[in-house]
Chain A
Amino acid sequence: MNLLLLEIAGWFGYLQRLEVRLQVIVLLLVFLGQGPLRRRLAPRVPLAQRSDVVIPLMLGLFSLVLGLAGLPNGLVLLGLLLYLGWLGLAGVRQLLARFVQPQQLQVLETRLIRPAYLLVAALLVIRVFDNPQDLALIPLGQWFGSEVTLGSFFLSVVIVYVLAMGTGPPAQGVAWVVQRSVGISNGSRRALALMIRYAAVAIGIVWALDHVGFNRTAILAVAGGLSVGLGFGIKEVFSNFVSGLWLLFEGSVRPGEVLFIDGDPCEVRSLGLRAAVLWRDRDNAELVIPNQTFFTSTTVTYTGSDTLRRSQVLVSAAYHHDPEVVIALLEATARSQKRVLPNPAPKGLLLRYGDSSIDYALRFWIANPMDNVSICSEVQAAIWQAFRDRDIEIPFPQQVQYQVEGPPKS
């Protein structure tokens, strides 16, 4: 580690050179001074408000001046190149937006594209100050009985990070292919994608440890010791992780499944290492529920064996209407709704004789449990319309009250 620090400290020795000092000053001047300059020029030159115009122009200009003076200008050009590259990421984002959903694009951009660009930029800067291949061979020390070099350590970290962050789309692609060829459900496809991702990250970690050259026996010994500590210390985390894996295999809580949470249907959005994220349609809320909860408590799902849900609406009609007519009308009304499944057929039921009306239930099946509320609303609106067309009355509750005058005679 000392060697690495000494090596980095050594880069400052280049400042002994006038040409290097000049270029560093130009870079500082442009990046730190462009703000005040733009504020001063903006009233007269509207284009000066845009930093993406001013910075490249200034860097290009200074680079040209240095070049004409016969002085090295590579550092300024490198600054210009890296800045233009950074601006170019916006173009990449626009291009990807055509194929990737906004939410995924946001994750992809913040966790993979921008970090990757910064990494490449850092390597390019190091490349001109030092030899990265040479730096990669610098030993960081002895870990688990093996000498770890900067290069192997860095590569391992990068690969594990890329696997953790970037395997989502490829895993989904593989799962999609499997779905197309085998015909698994959407929930199974999402579960498969997640499992492929976990497997890729796990293999990546094992590879990284092997690549770094860790002594496997030492790792096993340490892992054995750690497992006891982990068992006491962060058992909840492990419990949730294992629960998550189990639920994935079991298939009851998988992305895309619809569960009933506190009386509301919620769609499972993701099943993470610690918790599942569910989306509640009613108020667009996201519920983060530890995996262990599903493992140890009863879960009501509408998507276990199929995605059908049986819905029901209640309605009342006046006593003077023939129940058979009302039931037939209710069933016909349900059948006329597009989002009500024709099979199993809608079923009207006379539930009871109420105080002021006969109560009916209309039961019907829908394909997507998450649409229950909106379909019920549509069906009830259609019933109101059908009743009005047929002059079927939905009576108000009526109660005759008699006023008693004075206390009862004994």
Chain B
Amino acid sequence: MLRPLQGTLYIAVGVSEDAIDGELQKEIRARTTMLQTTFRTLQPKVRLQVEVFAEESLPNELRLRNSTGLSPDLLLVNESTARDLAREKLIDTVSFPAALLDQLDAGSVVRVRRSDGTLTGLPMELQPQVACFDRRRVPRSPATLSELLAFSAKGMEVGLSLDAISLAWTLGPLGAIDAVSSLLAREPVTPVTRQGLANWLGWLRQADQQQHVTFFPTETELIKELTAGTLDWIPCRSINLTRVKAGLGQNLGVAPLPSGPFGGASPITRERVLAFGVNSSPVQRRLALALARFAISPLHQRDIVLRSQYVLPVNREVAPPVRSSSVVAAMVEGRQQSLQRSTIRLIAASSKEQREAWQALLTRFLFDDLSQQDTLKGLIELLGGGRSR
């Protein structure tokens, strides 16, 4: 065991399909190189080979790879993806000592733990959602949704994504989060549920009617538009800050998302986990486990925060430097907002098809193809699994 391990470790990184481009690939390769460099202080004869996949296509990809014996040794994916892959037995579940798991964010560990005690993967990093804006046009990010509309009325170009996960932050401030949660939990539809959703749809309609508010299908478009200077304010996932910063430089402003009459924003924090492939050789599995342990070690977790990788650590022993960085402070605030409103449950309870249908429904609503009443009815049917009264 004292001899250093040797070999190539294959790592698959899952990203949103529409986000894959040369820039993202460069970014991921740079991160992997950094991880390899630091990991080689422990295991000098290890080489990491990274591949980027669309997260949506990973199940099919793994079915093919597993049948040929060429599956990746490690997968860096969203927690929900890891859960789906484990359910289909496309990845190996693993066990880690309790002492090690105790160091990690408790909520994240709970979500990767299966009923048999094994884990679908090891939580590695958190990607909260924050507000990104161009300081040249927006001196201060709006603190409330009313302020957001007021700023836009004065000329601030606002971009919002119709993607259910990206838009979930607006549910909390408008009193719809409990309505959505109760519908997903198959609870009876009450007038309060209807009112919550109606408030939310009403605000979306109001925002859509603003001249300077534009809805886009995905977050990738928002980022491109902000970098190009056609948008001034967008909600964005922290992992995209690197790219936005490359475009805007010092003009990039980062702040927590606005609150509303019913409370704070309800963003969803992406929890990225390291899952384990099924075809690894014994040496590769040992290397994969060693790398996973290294990735969550305080040394590396501190490193990723300090090197401005715009993710939050899962290791509780690493305190994010909130005082020295307003960006990190906003990210921590975003993480707190997501914990307070338990929006992560929305992902756990909803299926991919539901989220896609949600987006289609909202698109029709905002294009005036559906009335607010019909959209409300459709949402209740969609989230409640076919109920509408």
Q: Which residues of A contact B (CB under 8 A)?
A: 3, 7, 10, 13-14, 16-20, 23, 71-75, 77-78, 127-131, 133-134, 137-139, 147, 149
Measured between C-beta atoms, what is the minimum distance from A72 to chain B in Å? 4
The interface residues of chain B lying within 8 Å CB-to-CB of A3 are 29
The interface residues of chain A lying within 8 Å CB-to-CB of B64 are 74, 127-128
**Complex CA–CA separation, A127 to B70 (angstroms):** 11
A72 and B68 contact, CB distance less than 8 A: yes
B49 and A19 contact, CB distance less than 8 A: no
Chain A interface main SS type: helix
Q: Judge whether B65 is part of the interface by a CB distance below 8 angstroms.
A: yes
With A72-B66, A72-B67, A134-B53 already in contact, the answer to whether A16 and B283 are too (CB < 8 A) is: yes
Q: Judge whether B250 is part of the interface by a CB distance below 8 angstroms.
A: no
Q: Judge whether B103 is part of the interface by a CB distance below 8 angstroms.
A: no
- Selected from A19, A130, A131, A138, the residue in CB contact (under 8 A) with B69 is A19
B69 and A20 contact, CB distance less than 8 A: yes
Considering the complex, which residues of chain B in the window 35-89 have a beta carbon less than 8 Å from any beta carbon of chain A? 47, 49, 51-53, 61, 64-70
B280 and A17 contact, CB distance less than 8 A: yes
With A131-B51, A133-B20 already in contact, the answer to whether A16 and B8 are too (CB < 8 A) is: yes
A7 and B53 contact, CB distance less than 8 A: no
What is the size, in residues, of chain B's interface with A at 8 Å between Cβ atoms? 26
Closest residue of chain A to B49, judged by CB? A10
For the complex with contacts A16-B8, A19-B279, 15 further pairs of A-B residues with Cβ separation under 8 Å are A3-B29, A13-B10, A14-B10, A14-B70, A16-B7, A18-B281, A20-B69, A71-B69, A72-B67, A72-B69, A74-B67, A74-B68, A74-B70, A131-B52, A137-B25
With A74-B64, A134-B25, A137-B21 already in contact, the answer to whether A17 and B69 are too (CB < 8 A) is: yes
Most chain B beta-carbon contacts within 10 A, residue among A10, A17, A19, A20: A17
The interface residues of chain B lying within 8 Å CB-to-CB of A138 are 25
Closest residue of chain A to B28, judged by CB? A134
Q: Judge whether B97 is part of the interface by a CB distance below 8 angstroms.
A: no
Closest residue of chain B to A3, judged by CB? B29
**Complex CA–CA separation, A135 to B225 (angstroms):** 27
Q: Judge whether B359 is part of the interface by a CB distance below 8 angstroms.
A: no
A78 and B68 contact, CB distance less than 8 A: yes
B49 and A7 contact, CB distance less than 8 A: yes
- Selected from B22, B47, B281, the residue in CB contact (under 8 A) with A149 is B22
A-B contact pairs, 7 of them (CB 8 A): A10-B8, A17-B281, A20-B69, A20-B279, A23-B69, A128-B65, A139-B22
The interface residues of chain A lying within 8 Å CB-to-CB of B8 are 10, 13-14, 16
Measured between C-beta atoms, what is the minimum distance from A28 to chain B in Å? 16
B47 and A129 contact, CB distance less than 8 A: no
Measured between C-beta atoms, what is the minimum distance from B129 to chain A in Å? 26
**Complex CA–CA separation, A128 to B10 (angstroms):** 13
**Complex CA–CA separation, A77 to B70 (angstroms):** 14
Measured between C-beta atoms, what is the minimum distance from B77 to chain A in Å? 14
B278-300 interface mask toward A, CB cutoff 8 Å, 1 = contact, 0 = none? Answer: 01110110000000000000000
